[in-house]
Amino acid sequence: MIRLLLLWLAALVMAPAALAHEIRPAYLEIREIEPNVYDFLWKTPARGEMRLALNILQPDACTNAAEPRSTMVGGAVIQRWRAACEGGLIAKPIEIENLSHTLTDVIVRFEPIEGAPKTLRVRPDDPFAVIPDKQPWTEVASTYFVLGIEHILLGFDHLMFVLALLLLVRDVRRLIGAITAFTVAHSITLAGATFGWIKLASAPVEATIALSIMFIAVEIMRVRAGRESLTAMMPWLASFAFGLLHGFGFAGALREIGIPEDAAPPALLFFNLGVEAGQLTFIAAVLTLMFVWRRFAPTTINTPQTAAYAWRIPVYVIGITSAYWFVERTVGVLGL
């Protein structure tokens, strides 16, 4: 079990450098402003001044009124333009050029003058957006649900915090309470930040999230050393407080993905449900690995003497990694 956790934690440390391809989704919004005339907003992920080389190839019947205008906003490049498309865009393929060479997806939002808006998810294996005449609301739900799952399973800092809670709280009932408090807290700030009720700069939030992980790692060491710890006695209190911070992190990710204004409540709801599904999947996987290790590991390895020291390895990795993230993100906040 310890070896498996160590391998996973090592992957967390190396993951930011190992990802040679961008995985954040791009976002295309198309608003019909008059019959067969559309305003396009195209948001592509960027690192520094380099954006992902994705381009929109409109149907042949479309003619742009002017060249696209580009602006850099956060970690993305936003392009805007207007086009007239003879016969409209319904059922006509819009190709996302070079998407098949990436690992990212594209969220497409189409808002007609009349009728319900439509949300599509375009994947690299089929880089064409074909806007349907009618679309069930379940497609919006499934799109953002899957995005929520993907975000939490690739959100290494959030998963590391959950893993630290699992190592700190060994009583099942208190663990359930801590995870529930974390869920409630991040749901509150995710909703508040998404709807604009609460605003915090993302860079300090990300640095503090790293600090929260480091704090839990220190608390694990205190408890294992036999010292009293309010966090261990009332883990729901710490998980709720830090869950509020992690909610701002989820909200930042949702803003990067792009959320349709008129479908924000269902998109937010199912994104959050996806986050919870991914989180529960991770917890179940870790608990299953722990059970399998304790039940089937060779007795020559799984001894009380080994267990007395082996738990330190994942805790040290969590602490060192979160400390590195904290310093890195703090330097970014200060602009050093």
Higher pLDDT, 106 or 16: 106
Q: What is the mean pLDDT of the chain?
A: 81
Question: Is pLDDT above 60 for 9?
Answer: no
Q: Which has the higher per-residue pLDDT, 135 or 149?
A: 149
Crossing angle between the packed helical segments 202-224 and 156-168, to the nearest 10 degrees: 20
**What are 164-196's pLDDT values in tens digits?**
988 888 787 888 888 888 888 988 988 888 777
| Angle (CA) 29 252 177, round 5° | 130
Pick the more confident residue, 151 or 221: 221
Write the DSSP string, 260-278: -GGGHHHHHHHHHHHHHHH
Sequence ranges of the domains in the chain? 26-135, 148-334
**CA 149 to CA 155: how far, in whole Å?**
10
Please state, in angstroms and rounded to a whole number, the distance separating the CA atoms of residues 259 and 167: 35
Rounded Cα distance, 99 and 125, in Å: 8
Torsion angle defined by CA atoms of residues 215, 220, 221 and 226, in that order, rounded to the nearest 10 degrees:
130
Minimal CA–CA distance to 74: which of 47, 100, 96? 47
Count how many Cα atoms sit within 13 Å of the Cα of residue 89 in the half-sphere of its side chain. 33
CA 79/CA 42 separation, integer angstroms? 5
> For the segment 300-329, what is each residue's pLDDT rounded down to a tens digit?
666 666 666 677 888 899 999 999 989 988
